[in-house]
Chains A and B, each alone.
Chain A
Amino acid sequence: MSRQRTKPATPRRNTLPLHVIASVVGLFMVIPVVYALLGGFKDNSELSGNPFGLPESWITANYTDVLGSGSFWLQVWNSTFIAVITTVLTVALAALAGFVFARFAFRGRELFFTLFTAGLMFPFAVAILPIFVLLRTFGLLDNPLGVILTQAAFGLPLTIIILRGFFRSIPGEIEEAATIDGCTPFGFFWRILLPMARPAIATVSVLAVVGSWNNFMLPLVVFSEESSWTLPLGIQQFQGQYASDTARILAYLILAMVPALGFYAIAERHLVGGLTAGATKG
């Protein structure tokens, strides 16, 4: 995203009202999270009597209990594993297909490409029942592979479109030079195209990671055994289990936010760039 400096609309205008509005919206955004963060350090009676102030005594048990429980870490691991494998698979398959769509001319190319782009129009929720039946038939329920393969399949359209666009922008002369030097098509793809496409690869990878990490509907129907739960399933279950222990749920929520917000901090540019490019350039 180009960060073009915008000049002030009118120089030296009083910006105080703008600051007030921005701060009010900022409070609206921050208060729920701060409430949860502080609430995690309170006990439940204090939480209902003193929801906003600092804790009278900082109780760390809520946080340490969650961090000490095996199930939280297992869910973090499951979510991470599924997100990483989904991303690698999506990007690898989409890069190969995008390469074909970008650099080869053959009959039926537009037909296949249109088929993939039409996939953008298929809402995931519509297919969930047949996918469940299909995964059950192949014995992929309660198997991470069931979630990984499905997520990858639904991630292909957008990833192929973005990567194809990028591959097409790489000049043909580079490919000619590589071919003269004896590069096979795959050699060109692997040794030249992919390294050049690193920014685009980063963008689609970040989108795939976030999509997988936050996915709820698919793991909800695929995983019934606790050992395969991802974080979203674990959070939902935790809320059901400790329904009256609000402070403990708040601590769980805060700890579950950390990986997502940490990833956002690292990958903010790619994430925002990818989302807005996907939206504004179709």
Chain B
Amino acid sequence: MTTLTRGPEAVKLPAPAPAARRRGRWVSIVLFLLPALVLFLMLVVAPMLVAIYSSVFKWNGFGGLPTDFIGLDNFTRLFTSEIFAQDLWHLAVLVLLSIFVQLPFSLAIAMLLNQRIRGRALYRVLFFAPYVLSEVITGVLFSLILSPGSGMANQLLSVFGWESEWLADPNTVMPSLFLVMTWKYFGFHMMIYLAGRQNIPNELIEAAQIDGATGWKTFRHVTLPLLGPTIRISVFLSVIYTIQLFDLVWILTGGGPSHSSETMAVTMMDWGFKRSQVGYASAISVVMFGLSLVFALLYQRFVMRRDLEGATTSAGGRP
């Protein structure tokens, strides 16, 4: 990866005195790198380490570093907690819904907008637009629309003689949350798929059609396999995002009613800031981190390996 890089030392020149030159080079390296490195170590790496460290202490967050060491008690408490079990269940539900509903939907819309239909540029802009709105705007808007009783969604559905408690009912809160997530994020995945589709040479699609493949067969046996790397990336991003899901849930439901839509990040914020049990909250954040890390490593090792080995570039010709 680094062989292409050409440092200044590759330049064959009547240079100033070599020693001074070398010193100047190191001064540049240090001066240029140091600001970013210091900021990164202070506000990313150090807090990460402190989070891991304080997860084995009983700590209210005050008075320097924690001192009341309690071993893995926070974790034992966490793994026997019913709320945490619910967090994991909600994570599983949202991940499965995302992979089997939201992403296929995004893919279908991307394929649709890849056709030459009138107004497709407008649709593309429109479908992606909610992605740039903040989670707070989205959350507040939908908490009004989905408000039980006379919210806009219920008034719309009353035409069909149907209504729902949406976010206020433990049985419908997760599907409602997922609906809002889809509204906000499917355009992002659609854009990724569109970009991936545009990297597929049209000759391949046309060749399949000349060979007599129908639209569906072309998609199933040519387009879909070639989109593989793109799809695997979008699944990856979706899962990592869901593990850390916070803003939307906090605004829409606060994790309720009675923890029925709570996520790990919401539980963590609850214990860390509302109840000042920073050690316990840190244990939650460590589990969140561990889950992301394990997922990322396993996924890259077993699912994305072919892509990382450069299968994407060979897709053009070699089978």
Contacts and interface: CB of A to CB of B under 8 A. Distances in A.
Interface in B176-231: 183, 187-188, 191-192, 194-199, 202, 205-206, 209, 215, 218, 229-230
Contact of B126 (A26, A125, A168): A26
A68 interface: no
A19 B42 CA distance: 52
B8 interface: yes
A153 interface: yes
Nearest to B230: A280
B69 interface: no
Contacts of B296: 121
Given A18-B112, A22-B119, A280-B195, A129 B51 contact: yes
Interface stretch (B73-81, B91-99, B281-289): B281-289
Given A32-B145, A100-B29, A260-B132, A116 B115 contact: no
A275 B246 CA distance: 21
B278 A129 contact: yes
A168 B215 contact: no
A4 B136 contact: no
B25 A235 contact: no
Interface residues of B, number: 111
Interface stretch (B30-38, B82-90, B161-169): B30-38
A272 interface: yes
B130 to A, nearest CB: 7
A202 interface: no
Interface of B: 2, 4-11, 13, 24-26, 28-29, 32-33, 35-37, 39-40, 42-48, 50-51, 54, 61, 109, 112-120, 123, 125-130, 132-137, 140-145, 150, 152, 155-156, 183, 187-188, 191-192, 194-199, 202, 205-206, 209, 215, 218, 229-230, 233-234, 237, 240, 243-244, 246-247, 250-251, 265, 268-269, 272-273, 278, 281-282, 285-286, 288-289, 292-293, 296, 308
Contact of A21 (B46, B112, B143): B112
Interface in A128-177: 128-134, 149-150, 152-154, 156-157, 160, 168, 172, 175-176
B286 A32 contact: no
Q: Is the interface of A mostly helix, strand, loop or mixed?
A: helix
B192 A280 contact: yes
A97 to B, nearest CB: 4
A241 interface: no
Interface residues of A, number: 106
Given A214-B134, A279-B237, A126 B288 contact: yes
A29 B152 contact: no
Contacts of A29: 126-127, 129-130, 183, 187
A125 B132 contact: no
A73 interface: no
B292 A123 contact: yes
Interface string A44-64: 000010011000000000000
B114 to A, nearest CB: 6
Contacts of B36: 93-94, 96-97, 116, 156, 160
A172 B35 CA distance: 26
Contacts of B205: 9
B28 A279 contact: no
A97 B205 CA distance: 43
A112 B144 contact: no
A231 interface: yes
A179 interface: yes
B47 A134 contact: yes
